[in-house]
Amino acid sequence: MTTIELQPATKGLHGTLQVPGDKSISHRAVIFSALAEGTSHVYNFLTGEDCLRTVEAFRKLGVRIDQEADKLTIYGQGIKHLVEPAAPIYFGNSGTTARLMSGILAALPLFTVAYGDESLAKRPMDRVVVPLEKMGAHIYGREEAARLPLAFKGNKLTGVTIEMNVKSAQVKSALLLAGMLAEGETKVYEKGVTRNHTEMLMPQYGITIHKNRNVITIPGNQQPVASNLHIPGDISSAAFFLVAGLLTENSELTIKNVGLNPTRDGIITVLQKMGAKLAVTNRTYVGHEPVGDVTVESGPLKAMTIEGDIIANLIDEIPILALAATQAEGTTVIKDAKELRVKETDRIAAVANNLTAMGANIEPTEDGLVIHGPTRLTGAVVHSYGDHRIGMMSAVASLITDSDVTIKDKNCINISYPNFFEHLTHIMK
């Protein structure tokens, strides 16, 4: 297991960073380009392990994908030319690959078997399997196909009306992808607003889709067409450095080209409400996605309650927000975030364990965390639990501890941010 020992930042954090491409959009860019007819180019693709799993999945389905650093060339031949893979497909640690690919594999006339790593094999798949079965899918696995490994005896699905019972962009996307390939129309009723990258990308790849408040309608039998795509920086990756800059004394940091899609920017809203010195400048668009540069300066924060609809818009940022809350004046309450229990690890337990080990006053609840601040953090030996976001949160915490922090199993950070430690070293100079 790979371990890293990190020293506190004594000189503050300074400079400018450009975080890697957005993970959610990178997965979707590969999916639409690989299903398309024609050659697509994808720029600023996230070369993290999760997105490479989606690339590998389509290579197994017969699509040629060339990678040159963060540029992909995807030679789509159209849905009809996908081939049955000879061997099982490995989804690694990637929940997004597992859920979105399920919607596709269920709807194609191919037999496929898919599996994941130890963490992914524990995560719920029934949330996509059950609605896909309503569309006529044949999916097999242990425990009524509630978890990976799964076998897909793909066939022509039928469009249906589905009311989602979980707030999940992955489930929504799986159903829209299945609907795009099915016979007839599919209607998805969303339970709340979740990231909308799938709906935003579909028209760019020539796919018809309609949205009316929380109802998304997609006609079936659609063949995507090739498109070129530039991917904005990932706000979920930027979040670690934004909080690092706010918490580390004498810091001023700018993160450029950060994706600011309103279904993803909950972290900005919350940090501003906590009193953060944070400014967004140079607002523009990359493709259809809004982006901007975000500058932070160290300063005091105040506690707040984070609950309700905003949770889905900052779900992956809760570990780093919890760290911010340990330094905020007052009691921060995070609720309605039970989904954290079924991420790469149980993130409620993992955040509470690591921050408690560093001396924070934090209690896990069934659906969130209660954090009393501010507290001085101390050095400790902690584990990433194989979860990239827990690893990065612990690394940011080390900047403000009074002695070294050791993180066990640091390599999982490659899942979403392969050059994280390089960037950390760069701003500590």
Ligand X SMILES: C=C(OP(=O)(O)O)C(=O)O
Ligand Y SMILES: O=C(O)C1=C[C@@H](OP(=O)(O)O)[C@@H](O)[C@H](O)C1
* Catalytically annotated residue among 50, 234, 293, 316: 316
Tell which one of 339, 349, 411, 426 touches ligand Y (CB under 6 A): 339
Tell which one of 182, 315, 348, 400 touches ligand Y (CB under 6 A): 315
Measured between its terminal Cα atoms, the distance across the chain in Å is: 28
| Least Å from the CB of residue 344 to ligand X | 6
Distance CA 110, CA 108 (A): 6
Tell which one of 19, 21, 24, 51 touches ligand Y (CB under 6 A): 24
Q: Is 344 in the site for ligand X (CB under 6 A)?
A: yes
CB closer to ligand X out of 157 and 412? 412
Which among ligand Y, ligand X, none contacts residue 389 (Cβ within 5 to 8 A by kind)? ligand X
Binding mask 142-181 for ligand Y (x = CB under 6 A): --------------------------xxx--x--------
| Least Å from the CB of residue 416 to ligand X | 5
Number of residues that bind ligand X (CB under 6 A): 10
Q: Is 96 in the site for ligand Y (CB under 6 A)?
A: yes
Which among ligand X, ligand Y, none contacts residue 332 (Cβ within 5 to 8 A by kind)? none
Number of residues that bind ligand Y (CB under 6 A): 10
**Is 126 one of the catalytic residues?**
no
Q: Is 367 in the site for ligand Y (CB under 6 A)?
A: no
| Least Å from the CB of residue 295 to ligand Y | 25
Distance CA 108, CA 281 (A): 45
Distance CA 23, CA 299 (A): 30
Q: Is 60 in the site for ligand X (CB under 6 A)?
A: no
| Position with the least CB separation from ligand X | 95
Which among ligand X, ligand Y, none contacts residue 339 (Cβ within 5 to 8 A by kind)? ligand Y
Distance CA 400, CA 208 (A): 49
Tell which one of 33, 54, 96, 168 touches ligand X (CB under 6 A): 96
Which among ligand Y, ligand X, none contacts residue 94 (Cβ within 5 to 8 A by kind)? ligand X
Residues near ligand X (CB under 6 A): 23, 50, 94-96, 316, 343-344, 389, 416
Give the residue numbers marked as catalytic: 316
